Amino acid sequence: MVLNQYAGMRSQLFVVRLPGASAPGFLFMALRNLPPYNSQLIFVRDLTDMFHSRPLVFHCLLLMLLMASVGLSLSLGSITVPVAELVDVVVGRLVGEAITGTADMVVWQIRMPRVCLAVLVGACLAVSGAMVQGLFRNPLADPSLIGVSGGAAVGAAIAIVLGGTWGWFSPSWNLPLFAFFGGALVTALVYRLGVGPLGTSVATMLLAGVAINAMTSACISYLATTAEDVRLRNLVYWLMGSFNVASWEKVSWVAPFALLSLVMIPLLWKGLNALLLGESEARHLGIQVERLRLKVIVLAALAVGVSVASVGVIGFVGLVVPHIVRLVLGPDHRWLLPGSALLGAALLSLADLAARLVVEPQELPVGVLTAALGAPFFLFLVVQRRRGQLYGV
Amino acid sequence: MVSDPVLQLTDLGFHTGGRDLLQGINLQVAEGECVAVVGPNGAGKSTLFRTLSGEWSPSTGEVWFDGKPLANWTLGDLARLRAVMPQSSSLSFPFAARDVILMGRMPHDSGREQDEAIVEEVMDVCDVRHLAQRHYTALSGGERQRVQLARVLTQIWQPVATGRRLLLLDEPTSALDLSHQLDLMQLVREVCGKAVTVLVIVHDLNLAARFADRVMMLHNGASVAVGAPAEVMRPDLIECVFKVKTQVIEHPLYGCPLVVS
């Protein structure tokens, strides 16, 4: 009896340790047995099997990744702040005994708001990507591909170029508000165009996205030609998508909206799962589809709108991140939504770190970096889908 | 006349684009009965299915379910009593088949443990246990159909205190080979027994004749015959509706009508 219990405990311990312990071993095996042309996919499948029943383990890993990337982003840069000093500054600030000096200046005044923005925006973009993909029942939908970011950008550009001329609202409120309505309008439009009586047409939706993106860039170009010099410069910098505009003031107005959508969106998991079966199937399972759709559109517009308004257009995060999470955890939105938020936050803060480091002392707009990395990944997905290998479709 | 029917259609009609897709359909389905709807392509079977499942609202007449007009039901209450299996499902995300089946428990708050137990039971009954961990997207058409059937059975597996259960099936056998067609209909009949009322749309007259208690034949959006299979499966009627000369003989094994063309 005692022996049995012991054996049970041992096997449990083993199971808990399994993912961490066997991943390097598996990697080694996968590399050694390179020849099968889709060994990479076998690897992905095995990862999927390994984690499928253990979303919590994966979330813990994601959380660790996020903490590591935040730590790295705070510590690295033109001045490297050692970890010990970093901890001193952060703890000092949080507990109340602020340490003044260069380290505090660099970490708390310059890097911290920037990291906060990257984390919030990354989480928002990734989670709304996952959600929009669920709404459209298509893994290739992405807020920037179907024009939502573009719509938000037009709204924000109007606020930048014409803002303040009407005298109502402060400019810092105009921007998110306009971005929100721009994003909401386009999401609703694309959805109306993409959904016919026979269900959702992906081709229509993506084509609508192409057309809307063309229209939005025309709008923005027009606004740019009419803008005065200072505003034009603001607009151009902002369009490239960068975190160098970060400040605590900015974080203070981004955070409430971002956190609101980050809390609300994962609550929709059940309805989104049912929706994947089809709209009428979801209705027959008791889901109020119209209401769910409205919530998704409003929340996507809010999350994407506030992201675009604060740091400009950053593409592909919303597309790539949910894909990676789906490969590991499967399509269940209960885990997909929080997982995407965590991974999006971690990846975007890492991308921002890279954007600061690669061309030092210059800085790359992070939108350029995510597009440069995300676009090839997207092409890879398209090709894989075509070959019918991914997901075994 | 059926007393206290589970499903009742009164003078049901559906018009769109100046055409009558359905008109004057009357039907009462008693508790525990299995009614099959047959008819040639374009007769209005799918329109009827969509109207009586509540997806489309009828232009005339009403659908009553368990003593209440369909429009007065909340989606949640309806989903706890009634399951609908569509002709084909467009699920394109790699859910494990078991997760798809588990979704049938979504309307109920019976708790994870009980839901899991029901899923296990249904998977055995539907013979899909071996598919449990396979991705839905990797299944064949027939396997998908069986998984979807398991899902809708899971949804109405247990009696619910608030009313009587109903199962609506739209051509559930369309993607299946002969033996699976028979298996599926047999299964539906056995599982539902006298506890769950079934309305099923089928293409195959012989399938309807063998498994249904009553058959309704549709032609150009109107019901041309309702009754026991032997009353509806008449060569003259079939020739008039399907434009095919047939003979109807008694099935040597089951005694039901057998349509031979």
| Interval A132-141 mean pLDDT | 83
Contact: B106, A276; criterion CB under 8 Å: no
What is the rounded distance in angstroms from the CA atom of residue A77 to the CA atom of residue A79?
5
Which chain A residues are closer than 8 Å to B96 by Cβ?
Answer: 52, 330
pLDDT higher than 60, residue A42? no
Digit-coded pLDDT (tens) for B190-249: 888 878 999 999 988 999 999 999 999 999 999 999 999 999 999 999 999 999 898 888
Q: Is residue A28, in this structure, part of any structural domain at all?
A: no
Contact: A286, B104; criterion CB under 8 Å: no
Of B190 and A391, the structure prediction assigns the larger pLDDT to B190
Burial (0-12, 13-18, 19+ Cβ within 10 Å), A365: buried
Strands A195-196 and A199-200 come out as antiparallel
Identify the three-state secondary structure at position A137: coil
At A94, is the pLDDT very low, low, confident or very high (cuts 50, 70, 90)? confident
CB proximity A392 to B under 8 Å: yes
| Interval A291-296 mean pLDDT | 87
Domain count, chain A: 1
- DSSP state, residue B244: -
CB-nearest partner of A392 from B82, B104, B138:
B138
Beta strands in chain B (DSSP E): 7-16, 19-29, 34-38, 60-65, 68-69, 82-85, 165-170, 196-201, 214-219, 222-227, 247-250, 257-260
- Whole-number pLDDT of residue A25: 42
What is the rounded distance in angstroms from the CA atom of residue A106 to the CA atom of residue A83?
13
What is the rounded distance in angstroms from the CA atom of residue A202 to the CA atom of residue A134?
13
| Interval A70-90 mean pLDDT | 87
Nearest CA in chain A to B105: A285
Mean pLDDT lowest among A102-116, A266-280, B142-156: A102-116
At B176, is the pLDDT very low, low, confident or very high (cuts 50, 70, 90)? confident
A321, A131 Cβ separation under 8 angstroms: no
Digit-coded pLDDT (tens) for A245-263: 788 888 988 899 999 999 9
Which chain B residues are closer than 8 Å to A276 by Cβ?
Answer: 91-93, 95
Q: Is residue A8, in this structure, part of any structural domain at all?
A: no
Q: Which range marks the domain in which residue A261 is found?
A: 44-392
- Whole-number pLDDT of residue B99: 92
Q: Structure pTM?
A: 0.82
Tokens of A334: 């209960």
pLDDT higher than 50, residue B53? yes
CB proximity B135 to A under 8 Å: yes
Mean pLDDT lowest among A40-49, A195-204, B14-23, B74-83: A40-49
Nearest CA in chain A to B140: A393
pLDDT higher than 90, residue A130? yes
What is the rounded distance in angstroms from the CA atom of residue B71 to the CA atom of residue B60?
13
CB-nearest partner of B90 from A137, A274, A285:
A137
- Whole-number pLDDT of residue B153: 94
Nearest CA in chain B to A327: B94
Digit-coded pLDDT (tens) for A191-229: 788 776 655 566 677 788 888 889 998 998 898 888 888
Mean pLDDT lowest among A138-152, A320-334, A377-391, B166-180: A377-391
What is the rounded distance in angstroms from the CA atom of residue B49 to the CA atom of residue B155?
19
What is the rounded distance in angstroms from the CA atom of residue A113 to the CA atom of residue A124?
16
- Whole-number pLDDT of residue A170: 55
At A165, is the pLDDT very low, low, confident or very high (cuts 50, 70, 90)? low
Digit-coded pLDDT (tens) for B60-72: 999 999 989 998 9
pLDDT higher than 50, residue A3? no
Closest CA to B209 of B184, B190, B227: B227
CB-nearest partner of A277 from B94, B103, B135:
B103
Indicate the average pLDDT of chain A: 78
Digit-coded pLDDT (tens) for A54-70: 788 889 999 999 999 99
A317, A126 Cβ separation under 8 angstroms: yes
pLDDT higher than 60, residue A46? no
- DSSP state, residue A105: I
Which chain B residues are closer than 8 Å to A285 by Cβ?
Answer: 79, 103-104, 106-107, 155
Peptide bond into A361 cis (omega under 30): yes
**Overall CATH class of domain B7-87+162-260:** alpha beta
pLDDT higher than 50, residue A5? no
CB proximity B104 to A under 8 Å: yes
Which chain A residues are closer than 8 Å to B90 by Cβ?
Answer: 137, 199, 277-278
Domain ranges for chain B, please list them: 7-87+162-260
Selected for mutation to probe chain B from A195, A275, A281, A288 (highest B CB count within 10 Å) is: A281
B146: how many CB neighbours lie within 10 A of its CB?
A: 25
Q: Is residue A363, in this structure, part of any structural domain at all?
A: yes
CB proximity A197 to B under 8 Å: no
Tokens of A147: 């024009």
- DSSP state, residue A146: T
ipTM: 0.91
Burial (0-12, 13-18, 19+ Cβ within 10 Å), A288: middle
pLDDT higher than 50, residue A391? no
CA distances from B259 to A378, B103, B207 (A): 54, 39, 10
CA distances from A29 to A37, A245, A247, B82 (A): 15, 45, 47, 50
Which chain A residues are closer than 8 Å to B79 by Cβ?
Answer: 284-286
CB-nearest partner of B137 from A52, A287, A392:
A392
pLDDT higher than 80, residue A40? no
Q: What percent of chain B has pLDDT over 70?
A: 100
CB proximity B53 to A under 8 Å: yes
Q: Is residue A7, in this structure, part of any structural domain at all?
A: no
CB proximity A322 to B under 8 Å: no
Distance from CA of B208 to the nearest CA of A (A): 25
CB proximity B90 to A under 8 Å: yes
B155: how many CB neighbours lie within 10 A of its CB?
A: 29
CATH of the domain at A126: 1.10.3470.10
- Whole-number pLDDT of residue A387: 64
- Whole-number pLDDT of residue A202: 61
Contact: B89, A277; criterion CB under 8 Å: yes
A156, A182 Cβ separation under 8 angstroms: yes
CB proximity A334 to B under 8 Å: no
Nearest CA in chain A to B85: A281
> What part of A 205-264 touches B (C-beta under 8 Å)?
none
Angle, CA A206 vertex, CA A203 and CA A211 arms, to 5°: 120
CB proximity B93 to A under 8 Å: yes
- Whole-number pLDDT of residue A123: 96
According to the per-residue pLDDT averaged within each range, which of A83-87, A100-104, B95-99 is highest? B95-99
Contact: A280, B107; criterion CB under 8 Å: no
The H or E element spanning position B94 is none
What is the rounded distance in angstroms from the CA atom of residue A145 to the CA atom of residue A207?
10
Distance from CA of A288 to the nearest CA of B (A): 7
Closest CA to A145 of A391, A375, A385: A375
Contact: B92, A287; criterion CB under 8 Å: no
pLDDT higher than 80, residue A342? yes
- Whole-number pLDDT of residue A392: 39
- Whole-number pLDDT of residue A388: 56
Contact: B103, A330; criterion CB under 8 Å: no
CB-nearest partner of A278 from B53, B89, B135:
B89
Indicate the average pLDDT of chain B: 90
What is the rounded distance in angstroms from the CA atom of residue A125 to the CA atom of residue A315?
9
- Whole-number pLDDT of residue B169: 94
Nearest CA in chain B to A198: B90
Contact: A391, B104; criterion CB under 8 Å: no
Which chain B residues are closer than 8 Å to A332 by Cβ?
Answer: 95, 99
Q: For chain A, give the number of residues.
A: 393
Which chain A residues are closer than 8 Å to B55 by Cβ?
Answer: 280, 283
Please, which residues have CB within 8 angstroms of residue A129's CB and are 6 or more apart in sequence?
A: A141, A142, A143, A317, A318, A319, A321, A322, A340, A344
Distance from CA of B152 to the nearest CA of A (A): 9
| Number of cross-chain residue pairs from A and B with Cβ atoms under 8 Å apart | 82
Contact: B104, A283; criterion CB under 8 Å: no
Mean pLDDT lowest among A16-20, A195-199, B97-101, B159-163: A16-20
